[in-house]
Amino acid sequence: MAAGVATWLPFARAAAVGWLPLAKKTMPRPPVDKKSRSDEILFVNVSGQRFQTWKNTLDRYPDTLLGSSEKEFFYNEDTQEYFFDRDPEMFRHILNFYRTGKLHYPRHECIQAFDEELAFYGIIPEIIGDCCMEEYRDRKKENQERLAEDNEAGEGGDAPLPPNSTSREKLWRAFENPHTSTMALVFYYVTGFFIAVSVIANVVETVPCRPIIGTVKDLPCGMKYSLAFFCMDTACVLIFTFEYLMRLFAAPSRCMFARSVMSVIDVVAIMPYYIGLVMPENEDVSGAFVTLRVFRVFRIFKFSRHSAGLRILGYTLKSCASELGFLLFSLTMAIIIFATVMFYAEKGTKGTTFTSIPASFWYTIVTMTTLGYGDMVPNTIAGKIFGSICSLSGVLVIALPVPVIVSNFSRIYHQNQRADKMRAQQKVRLARIRLAKKGCTNAFLQYKDDGGLQDHDSGSTALCVKNRSAFEHQHNHLLHCLEKTTNHEFTDELTYSEVCMTESLGYRTSRSTSLSSHHGSSTTCCPRRAKRRPIRLANSTVSVSRGSMQELDTLHVQKTTVVPQSRSSLNARTEDLKLNCDDRDFTAAIISIPTPPANTPDESLPTSPAFPGILRNSRSTTFNPDTVKISSL
């Protein structure tokens, strides 16, 4: 019900007096309104901006936050107002919805922000008024497309393969993203070259060459050097067949691949050759054979794998199918009308070229598209008049749907550009995220170094520890609890990688047997830069995240940007660290923290004295030596 209508309910109830004398049965008792009937003004404070409204206004929509008792959660007793810590600009629109019954979408606002506000206030977006609904829908669709692209760009493309992918997956990836490996790139260029060669050969073989000595007639080159062309054709077809079979083998879903456009083009490109091989050389069939040779030109479409622009064009045409359909339909209508008129106008003329209406179609098309070959020309006055009208209208009819197609193309093209840009920035973005994550972990390690985890009763805690916010304290306490729960400790990746490297030689076999049951991916981990921490015993639990492996890989690269801090003594305690505290400025941002590399669980192992020596030379950041416990060196 519309907003104001609720205020007319008293009137409708009053008008029910008209039924009373006619009533067959007695009337029920009216509901008793326990609350006070007088309307009151409510104060709503949104981030400092105070709004005032009648209570009745808000009560119009009882299934929203402001209309129900849910707003009592936000009531501030001290100031006698409802306080919301949200955007006051958006609240204006929300409140107007209550007042006028129509929700408007502000054009300058971000669609996601608006959606979030609506969700918070319990208003469903479907009730946006007609005036703003179109805009809202368009922006929402655009946003969703963009998000879908981001997801695709994120998960597809250039992310490194999980190490346990089969050769089939690797092959598929090589085909889809040629620049991931050099082999794929080589293959990409080779196929491209052969496509070009094949197309050029098709073209050149029809060019007339100098005749063979002894004959007079010009021969097409295809006939003269038929063997050479045949060999070239065979080679190309072999390459294409090989490529197609490889793709078919590598495709994750063979059915879907076989139905995709590109595979159809591939098949159409190579089929004529094979059919030509099996076809006998008699004259009847070779007519059809000639037709088949035409299909060889479809090889040029194989270039669309190599060119994004072609794909965009194809996609545009597909998405503009309705506009193209309209164009075609209107043109057809116009052609038929004008052809009929021209035919009857020119019927009387002797020796006219307008022999039938279908014959006039040709004239109409040529005139409407302003080609004007001049092979068919009207002679009568009526014919000339209608012919000129025909050419004028042709320009109009063709010009109308074209801007729609152009705008579609432009939109898709820009989307593509944006996707490319996102992909290019992907690496930078991921690296930044990893750096922040690492910063978080390092902050915790630093906190431990500073003795934050120890008892705070003594007054000797470092100033830098005290100055950390309550949030950091609590967060670090939480991480400490996790450490205690799993009986492992957090450490940084450099330490971990060092340890792993030294351990890898002796413990790879034992590790693989113990780990294969857990993760089944141990065989590929060690060749990578970040090695898995060796496991001392078969029954010890190791919690290593696969994800951290690749991140560690990149993190190591980022490490070089960190200013190396040389530690005088690894076993320094809190006291010595006081001076170095303020050099750290790791931001303890809460991004999802990667599961830290596993430490050995057994705390009974002593810190090997030889071990710190190795680490001292290669480490570039501080760490707590207690965290590094290796079984043995």
Partner 1 sequence: MLNLDGLEMIAVLVVMGLFIKVLEQFGLFEPVGGEDSIEDDFELSTVCHRPEGLDKLQEQSKFTKKELQVLYRGFKNECPSGVVNEETFKLIYSQFFPQGDSSTYAHFLFEAFDTNKNGSVSFEDFVAGLNIILRGSINDRLNWAFNLYDLNKDGCITKEEMLDIMKSIYDMMGNYTYPCMQDDAPREHVENFFQKMDRNKDGVVTIDEFIESCQKDENIMQSMQLFENVI
Interface with partner 1 (CB under 8 A): 1-5, 7-24, 26-27, 29-30, 33, 37-39, 54, 56, 341, 344-345, 348, 380-382, 385-386, 389
Answer yes or no: are the C-beta atoms of 468 and 452 closer than 8 Å: yes
Q: Please report how close the Cβ of residue 482 comes to partner 1 at its closest, in angstroms.
A: 58
Question: Is 33 or 130 the residue whose CB approaches partner 1 more closely?
Answer: 33
Q: Please report how close the Cβ of residue 52 comes to partner 1 at its closest, in angstroms.
A: 14
Question: Is 2 or 147 the residue whose CB approaches partner 1 more closely?
Answer: 2
Q: Please report how close the Cβ of residue 7 comes to partner 1 at its closest, in angstroms.
A: 3
Question: For the chain, give me the number of helices (H) and strands (E)?
Answer: 24, 6
Question: Is 343 or 447 the residue whose CB approaches partner 1 more closely?
Answer: 343
Q: Please report how close the Cβ of residue 413 comes to partner 1 at its closest, in angstroms.
A: 38
CA 97, CA 67: separation in Å to the nearest integer? Answer: 12
Question: Is 46 or 341 the residue whose CB approaches partner 1 more closely?
Answer: 341
Distances (CA, A) of 340 to 158, 260, 369: 59, 42, 18
- Cα angle 586-429-416, degrees, rounded to a multiple of 5: 165
Question: Is 37 or 350 the residue whose CB approaches partner 1 more closely?
Answer: 37
CA 437, CA 240: separation in Å to the nearest integer? Answer: 47
- Sign of the dihedral through C-alpha 78, 80, 82, 86: negative
Question: Is 6 or 133 the residue whose CB approaches partner 1 more closely?
Answer: 6
The SS3 of residue 270 is helix
| Closest by CA position to 619, among listed 560, 572, 577, 533 | 560
Distances (CA, A) of 81 to 45, 66, 85, 304, 495: 7, 13, 13, 63, 55
48 conformational bin, left if phi > 0, alpha if psi -120 to 50, beta if neither: left
Q: Which residue has the tokens 């390690």?
A: 445
Report residue 78 CA to chain centroid gap: 48
Question: Is 60 or 247 the residue whose CB approaches partner 1 more closely?
Answer: 60
Q: Which residue has the tokens 């004007």?
A: 372
Long-range interactions of 26-29: CB distance < 8 A, separation 24+? none
Q: Please report how close the Cβ of residue 94 comes to partner 1 at its closest, in angstroms.
A: 18
Compute the chain's Rg from CA coordinates: 39
Q: Please report how close the Cβ of residue 15 comes to partner 1 at its closest, in angstroms.
A: 6
Q: Please report how close the Cβ of residue 390 comes to partner 1 at its closest, in angstroms.
A: 12
- Cα angle 552-558-564, degrees, rounded to a multiple of 5: 110
Question: Is 13 or 616 the residue whose CB approaches partner 1 more closely?
Answer: 13
Q: Please report how close the Cβ of residue 332 comes to partner 1 at its closest, in angstroms.
A: 22
Q: Please report how close the Cβ of residue 368 comes to partner 1 at its closest, in angstroms.
A: 17
Question: Is 94 or 201 the residue whose CB approaches partner 1 more closely?
Answer: 94
CA 45, CA 602: separation in Å to the nearest integer? Answer: 57
CA 318, CA 323: separation in Å to the nearest integer? Answer: 10
The SS3 of residue 54 is strand
Question: Is 23 or 321 the residue whose CB approaches partner 1 more closely?
Answer: 23
Residue 51 parent element (H or E)? strand 49-54
Q: Please report how close the Cβ of residue 13 comes to partner 1 at its closest, in angstroms.
A: 5
Helix-helix angle 402-449:470-486, to 10 degrees: 80
Question: Is 393 or 426 the residue whose CB approaches partner 1 more closely?
Answer: 393
Q: Please report how close the Cβ of residue 342 comes to partner 1 at its closest, in angstroms.
A: 10
> Helix %, strand %, coil % for the chain, to 5?
60, 5, 35
Helix-helix angle 88-100:111-120, to 10 degrees: 60
Question: Is 19 or 73 the residue whose CB approaches partner 1 more closely?
Answer: 19
Question: Is 340 or 540 the residue whose CB approaches partner 1 more closely?
Answer: 340
Question: Is 60 or 302 the residue whose CB approaches partner 1 more closely?
Answer: 60
Q: Please report how close the Cβ of residue 394 comes to partner 1 at its closest, in angstroms.
A: 16
Q: What is the 3-state secondary structure (H, E, C) of 296-339?
A: HHHHHHHHHHCCHHHHHHHHHHHHCHHHHHHHHHHHHHHHHHHH
Q: Please report how close the Cβ of residue 377 comes to partner 1 at its closest, in angstroms.
A: 17
Q: What sections of 400-492 are H helices per DSSP?
A: 402-449, 463-466, 470-486
Amino acid (one-letter) located at 235: A
Q: Please report how close the Cβ of residue 216 comes to partner 1 at its closest, in angstroms.
A: 54
